[in-house]
Structure 1
Amino acid sequence: MTTLNQITTPKSIAIVGASDNKNRIGGRPLSHMIEQNFEGTVYPVNPNRDKVQGLKSYPNLQDIPGDLDFVLIAVPAKFVVNVIEDAVKKNARTALIFSSGFSEIGGEGEVYQKKIREICDQSNLRVIGPNCLGLFNSQSRFYPTFTSTIDRATPIPGDISIASQSGAYGSHIYMVSHQRGLGIRYWITTGNEADLSVGEAIQLLAEDDNVHTIMAYVESVKNGKQFINALETARQEKKPVILMKVGRSDVGAAAANSHTASLAGEDAIYEEVVRAHGAYRVRSTEEMLDVAYATKPKIYPTGKNLGIVTISGGGGVLMADAASDVGLKVGAMPEGAQKELKEIVPFASPMNPVDVTAQFFNDLSIVPKFIDLMLSQGGYDGIIGFWTSVAGSPKMSQPLLNALKQAMSNYSEKIFINSMVASEDIVKHYEKEGFLSIEDPTRAVVSMAALMYFGEKFNEKIEKIEIQPPLKINIPKRNLNEIECVEILEKFDINLNKGKLIKNVQEIKNIYKDIEDGYVMKVVSKDIQHKTEIGGISINIKSLIEAETKYDEILQNVKTKSPKALIDGVMISPMIKGGVEAILGAKVDPVFGPVVMFGLGGIYTEVLKDISFAEAPLNKKLAKKMISRLKSAKMFEGARGLKLNLDHLLDNIVKLSEFIYIYKDFVKEVEMNPLVIKEDMVIGLDALIIPNLEGEKNA
């Protein structure tokens, strides 16, 4: 089993392609190792030189005496496979490949990368890369990387680590982390991931006792199960994973694909996977650094009630707004506590935000009194203090710190973040005493929200899903028409508006009966998935004559707009009126496997895009949480007197999740749009199943 120690703490390293020029790719890691006093043995490999940077050079790996732990490769792509084979012969545990020209360029490069993968599968060698910038372990001073950031900023060992698919951006994250004063112990870039993936890197970091926080940069995931296991390991170890997943836009996704030669995938599904397994997704490097910095005390509140103490009423309002934006509660102080605050400072605002006013300057003793009341009676899970530039005053800085230390002396389990403008020396002094400082108040609120998110996720009970014994349903390996789709889903007790198939106009007379809401008629064809666009559907049919006319119109429209489609007939069904139209679907994601989708449907699906995803299978509790993440969630919960059958809706979501989970090898997608939700029923008006025609096993 691979360990982080095996990869990052070798006793020996050979650098194949080592250069005497310290600025070249093959020279930088050797220079780093020499200058940083790496304690292991370093073997430069360069057949053209007797010595490289003062060390004896070897023509090839086989000439190096004994076995090797680590082989670093910086030679053209066409030579890499041979070097990898030699590394196996030297019993190397790890090989790291700087070289580019593999799957990211296609063609011959893909062949090379496939061969590397085959060697890994047939040996004990682990490969990092190709096309990667390397890694480092600042504690052991091991620097197999050509990043220039080491020249400017020697890493300071800490308990935060970085895993990144991108080498250059991984370097950027390291550099700004260093500038922020964050100690980085491990830094791993994975490149094309012929073997070791960013998911496994996260896993290894989560398993290491020296790591307490993980920052990760992800462009794409190849092995969804491995990635999920990594996030779950970190959650079980109560180690925050702060994740930047790029490729949210179409342009970004295309760039990610070309960069890592892997599918970027559907961003909404990534969002759900990250959320479901306890990682925190950030949108900017600044947010990533703020959250990583905020994890330093290792305090993760389990609630979301935020207390705000401020010397500025305006600053308090701004932070309250920011708290609302990120889903935090800014609960009012109890009336009794408000009265006590008023007795201390009659003109203070005691609600929450609690404004200590300018009296702060006259009497700093009010600070511990106010904070003590907020923590002892307010029920706040964390507090932010807004002191603006006052805390940076040489005259006020230490007295304020003393007051804060007194205030928090009995609340070591609570998190307190200061928002203040002060010199680096003052900020470091506050940090040394255990007080975080984030200059911008909105960023302080966002960071607090992240800590509360981790507190919730670390204590979240993992739901056990029990699946009923699967029904034996035959799903043909061909395109299906709607009637076939309805028949399949009905076997799972999913309620659908089943109609009758008409194959000629004369059959309508034998079926048609006057009903109040009339009928809907639509073409039935395995070749037509979307009927509206080609005029293949007609609604509100109220008479036999109209039904006969619409039958002919539908067939004519289809023949005109989709002449190659094979028509099985026309289905006639009762119109279902009223209720809320939703969309309920499921698909087998190529990375993460079966997922369920629910949201506003009908004409609103594409316009509002109010959709929520969840991994299948679900139970009712998870299905309800899925609905709660919608912007329109209150509608489904009965807002403004709207009466909807939530229990039946949850049943349908659960059943469809079981269907896609059980038949994930036979079905690619399934969808009911619209799904009508009323007080007395939940019913799908349209059904679509797209079978898996390739016959390959899905994720």
Structure 2
Amino acid sequence: MDALPQAAAAPPQSMDALSALFAPRSVAIIGASGDATRIGGRPIAAMLERGYAGTILPVNPNRETVQGLAAYPSVAALPMVPDAAIIAVPAEAAETAIAALAERGTRAAIVFSAGFAETGEDGAAAQARLLAKARQHGMRLLGPNSLGLFNAAQGFYGTFSSSLERGYPVVGPIGIASQSGAYGMHLFSMARDEGMGLSCCVTTGNEADVNVGDLIGWMAQDPATEVIAAYSEGIRDAPSFLAALDLARRNRKPVVMMKVGRSEVGSAAARSHTASIAGDDAVTDAVLAEFGVVRARTTEELLDIARLATRRIYPVGNTLGVLTVSGGAGVLISDAAQAAGLPMPPMPESAQQALREVLPFCAPQNPVDCTAQVLNDVSLVGRFADALVKDGGYGSILCFFTHAGGAPSIVPRLRGELRAMRAAFPDRLFVLSVLADPPLVRDFEADGFAVFPDPSRAVVAIQAMGRFGDAFAAAPPAPPPILPPVTLPARTPSEAEAKRILSEAGIEAAPERACASADEAVAAAEALGYPVVLKILSADILHKSEIGGVLLNQMDAVSVREGFALLQQRAASSVPGARIEGVLVARQLAGGVECILGVHRDPVFGPVAMFGLGGIFVEILKDVAFRRCPFGEDAAEAMIRSIRGAPVLLGARGRLPADIPALARMLSRLSVFAVQAGPQLAGIDLNPVFAMPEGQGAFVADAVIDITEGAA
């Protein structure tokens, strides 16, 4: 049997498949209007203004010309087959238009028309008919209910957004993919207002066909797009999405994403707005992290990270060195770095001493405070920054000069020092926090520096560059283990049967025996050795502790006989009619760390594994890690080490270190088991799992395999 795949099986869209949508050589506008403020008129006006080099073909049966262009009464009357079409007619007319275009061989259509799946069952049926007509002839659809797209470099504006009235984008390396039309254009507008260069902006609408994964995949192959900014409310097509993220990482294209719907209220809003499946937010975090995608919490973060990423410097093992003229700002930056998880190791002691010899009253630890003395001697900037890079070895340097960095009396000398520093260390990420007039900010950026007025914002963006760098540099993960085929019963099994099934996948349980009588229980206890644990054995009672169905510290034959009877009594009283198979007698393990391993089937990404420590860590603190199944032992160990409570397993405060390799092996095997089990598996709960001291293994103490009855 071959190892299971770790990335999506479906390939991303090729450049050719979507090129007609992004860069058509000719475009028909169905419902073309001579009024440049109407939906059918705005794209024509924008393309004429921005010098679109392709052929514009207005279709309007009531006009001979539209905005100075020859108009045609129908699709059939067009003098050529357009590469793409813009549909700006009511829903019922859109179906007819798509059919006519598809039959003529048009390769792509942008459907502005609303009144489809977003309106209910009838609209969904109409959308299905629309898609069927397009697919019959190999046409790609963007929308329906889409605000469209623009390709700035091509001058192609297939959008009716009024945002263009305030200005067009500067051509640049950032591509925007958004499921929300209005918010996608909101992102564009903010980026434009900040002077950020954009390659394209695309909004998917209802995603009948082209989805946000397709767009990311196309941008990941587009030479004009170096950074991808995405906004998502829910992932419809997980395979294309995952394949696109994998392609972007392999092509060193950073992806920064706003995935909204974190809260219960927000998640409900996302479902009602787009009919998308929101999935579990913690799972989304894990999937994005798996592919090196940085998740932005706010619009400001999204744009900050995208803007800094255009510098194309992604430090591996990123650390931050800070040069400041303010001790207070240094403290603020340190707090922000700690909150972001960005290391700020101190300067070497020898380097600190050397800086004190230059400026006795400086604070050279990191942040390195060269004080207001730079106003008298700007050369200190270069000397201190040189030490930060050469002696400190930091991957990123943040220089806080506040308003002094914008003072006309200082700027010429400061720019000279900074340019020399940048030229000497072109591989380092240099960021400035200054308050300056916009023309000066542009000068600093032209010198190769990213500029942030707020140093805390700068820290968040710098930390993201390191995450990109680590993702791009990471070695391919180890393949998942190869396990024998999995055969599940038709219904949820008892604990003993669940453990037997798992044992075939190499997932070991604590030594135990299923006993149908008190005599058998005593014999089992004598064979296993005291103390033992007694547990009611029933496929109908999965959560045994809730009915008092678990007895610990059974020390002798008398307590085992009494315990057997007590468990039978509690089961009959608490769950009348439950099928009771007897009692499970297990050796009581000591000296291990209680953990929880589990699997649940995410509606978007399929089986997802969970790891955490037992007890309050999972119940109250929710200190757990997730990962999409399947994965190898290296990924499993990374999960284990990622939780906040990992020191408990690693030997904190004199504890014996737990057997991490055995725990990782179990978690990895569980992930493969979950995939091989197929849709019949609803979930798995191994709680507790005892991670014994180093070299002594890991053992399942309780197991639940939840079966979806009747699943194919």
TM bucket, shorter chain: over 0.9
Indicate the larger mover: 518-527 or 218-227: 518-527
Deviations 1:294-343 (A, max 9, x none): 12321111232211111111111221222222222212222332222122
Q: CA deviation at 1:457?
A: 1.2
Query: What one-letter code is carried by the residue in structure 1 that aligns with 2:492?
Result: N
2:522/2:560 contact within 8 Å kept: no
2:164 aligned residue: 150
Give, as a single letter, the amino acid of the residue that structure 1 aligns with 2:470: E
Q: Deviations over 1:562-604 (max 9, x none)?
A: 3454333332323334532211112343332333210122453
Cα contact 2:629–2:675 (8 A) shared by 1: yes
**1:126 alignment counterpart:** 140
Looking at structure 2, the residues matched to 158 and 370 of structure 1 have their Cα atoms a distance apart, in angstroms, of: 34
Match of 2:219 among 182, 205, 211: 205
Instruction: Give the one of 675, 690, 696 matched to 2:706.
Output: 690
Matched ranges for 1:366-385 at <5 A = 366-385=380-399
Residue 613 to residue 260, structure 1, CA distance change in 2 (3 Å): same
Distance 1:229 1:49, change over 3 A: same
Q: How does 1:12-27 map to 2 (within 5 A)?
A: 12-27=26-41
1:332 aligns to what? 346
The amino acid of 1:684's aligned partner reads V
Q: 1:259 to 1:565 in 2, by over 3 A?
A: farther
2:51 is the counterpart of 1:37: yes
Matched position secondary structure for 1:169? helix
Counterpart residue number, 1:289: 303
Q: Which amino acid in the other structure matches residue 140 of structure 1?
A: Q
The CA RMSD measured in Å over matched residues stands at 2.3
Q: CA deviation at 1:285?
A: 0.7
1:612 aligns with 2:625: yes
Instruction: Tell me if structure 1 keeps the 8 A contact 2:318–2:466.
Output: yes
The equivalent residue for 2:475 is 461
Structure 1 Cα separation of the partners of residues 117 and 552 of structure 2: 52
Offset of 1:548 from its aligned partner? 4.5
What is residue 234 of structure 1 aligned with on the other side?
A: 248
Please state whether the residue corresponding to 1:658 is helix, strand or coil: helix
Matches of 1:646 and 1:474 in 2, distance apart? Answer: 28
Task: Say which is worse superposed, 484-493 or 40-49, in terms of deviation.
Answer: 40-49
Distance 1:120 1:633, change over 3 A: farther
The higher-RCO structure (CA 8 Å, 6+ apart) is 2
- Please point out which of 508, 514, 524 is paired with 1:495: 508
Which residue does 1:537 correspond to in 2? 550
Q: What amino acid maps onto 1:71 in structure 2?
A: A
SS of aligned partner of 1:158: strand
2:592 matched to which residue of 1?
A: 579
- What is the CA-CA distance between 1:504 and the residue it aligns to? 4.9
1:161 maps to: 175
1:486 corresponds to which residue? 499
Shift of 1:380: 1.3
Shift of 1:201: 0.2
Q: How does 1:265-280 map to 2 (within 5 A)?
A: 265-280=279-294
CA contact (8 A) 2:485 2:676 kept: no
Q: Distance in 2 between the 1:81 and 1:258 partners?
A: 24
| Residue number in structure 1 paired with 2:540 | 527
The one-character-per-residue Cα deviations of 1:471-492 (angstroms, maximum 9, x if unpaired) are 2443223221211101011112
What aligned pairs does 1:243-262 form with structure 2 within 5 A after superposition?
A: 243-262=257-276
Deviations 1:106-162 (A, max 9, x none): 311221222333334432211111121100011221111121111112111111110
Paired residue type of 2:322: I
Indicate the SS of the match to 1:522.
Answer: strand
Of 54, 78, 82, the match for 1:68: 82
Q: Taking every aligned residue pair, what percent have the same amino acid on both sides?
A: 39
Confirm or deny that 1:307 pairs with 2:324: no
1-side partners of 2:654 and 2:239: how far apart? Answer: 43
Q: What residue number does 1:660 align with?
A: 674
* Equivalent-residue separation in structure 1 for 2:109 and 2:292 (angstroms): 31
Give the drift of 1:549. 4.6
Q: Deviations over 1:345-387 (max 9, x none)?
A: 1211122211111211111111111111221222111111010
Q: How far apart in 1 are the matches of 2:559 and 2:397?
A: 68
1:599 aligns with 2:615: no
Correspondent of 1:358 among 361, 372, 382: 372
Q: For 1:390 and 1:304, how far apart are their aligned partners in 2?
A: 28
- Equivalent position amino acid for 2:609 in 1: V
Structure 1: give runs of 5+ residues left out of the alignment: none
| Secondary structure, counterpart of 1:613 in structure 2 | strand
Match of 1:632 in 2: 645
User: Residue in 1 aligned with 2:123?
Assistant: 109
- 2:20·2:84 contact (CA, 8 Å) conserved in 1? no
What amino acid sits opposite 1:274 in the alignment?
Answer: L
**Distance in 1 separating the partners of 2:420 and 2:320:** 20
- Judging changes above 3 Å, is the alpha-carbon distance between structure 1 residues 283 and 50 closer, same or farther for their aligned structure 2 residues? same
Structure 1 residues 222 and 535, CA, compared in 2 at 3 Å: closer, same or farther?
A: same
* Counterpart contact for 1:13–1:72, Cα < 8 Å: yes
Q: CA deviation at 1:393?
A: 1.2
Q: How many residues align?
A: 695
Distance in structure 2 (CA, Å) of the matches to 1:375 and 1:604: 41
Contact kept in structure 2, 1:300 and 1:451, CA below 8 Å: yes
Aligned equivalent of 1:404, options 413, 418, 429: 418
* Distance in 2 between residues matched to 1:125 and 1:17, nearest whole Å: 19
1:268-291: CA deviation from partner (whole Å, max 9, x where unpaired): 221111111121111111111111
How does 1:367-446 map onto structure 2 within 5 Å?
A: 367-446=381-460
The answer as to whether partners of 2:262 and 2:281 remain within 8 angstroms in 1 is yes
- Assess if the C-alpha contact under 8 Å between 1:338 and 1:351 holds in 2: yes
| TM-score, with structure 1 as normaliser | 0.94
Normalising by the residue count of structure 2, what TM-score does the alignment of the two structures yield?
Answer: 0.92
Question: How far did residue 87 of structure 1 move?
Answer: 1.4
Range with bigger deviation, 407-416 or 305-314: 407-416
Aligned with 2:705: secondary structure? strand
Cα 1:92–1:399 shift into 2, 3 Å: same
Q: 95-104 or 525-534: which moved more?
A: 525-534
Question: How far 1:218 sits from its partner (Å)?
Answer: 1.4
The separation in 2 between residues aligned to 1:59 and 1:498, in whole angstroms, is 81
What residue identity is the alignment partner of 1:611? V
CA–CA distance in structure 1, aligned partners of residues 522 and 529 of structure 2: 18
8 A Cα contact 1:11 1:69, kept in partner: yes
Q: Which moved more, 1:218-227 or 1:53-62?
A: 53-62
Say which SS state the counterpart of residue 243 (structure 2) adopts.
helix
Cα 1:84–1:536 shift into 2, 3 Å: farther
The question of whether the paired residues in 1 share the 8 Å contact of 2:326 and 2:369 is answered with: yes
Distance in 2 separating the partners of 1:119 and 1:693? 37
> Is the alpha carbon distance of 1:405 and 1:471 closer, same or farther for their aligned partners in structure 2, counting shifts above 3 Å?
same
Counterpart AA for 2:92: K
- Indicate the larger mover: 19-28 or 379-388: 19-28
- Whether the 8 Å contact between 2:478 and 2:633 is mirrored in structure 1 is no
Q: Distance in 2 between matches of 1:516 and 1:599?
A: 29
Q: Distance in 1 between matches of 2:351 and 2:255?
A: 38
User: Residue 637 of structure 2 aligns to which amino acid in structure 1?
Assistant: K
Q: Distance between the aligned counterparts of 2:38 and 2:479, measured in 1?
A: 54
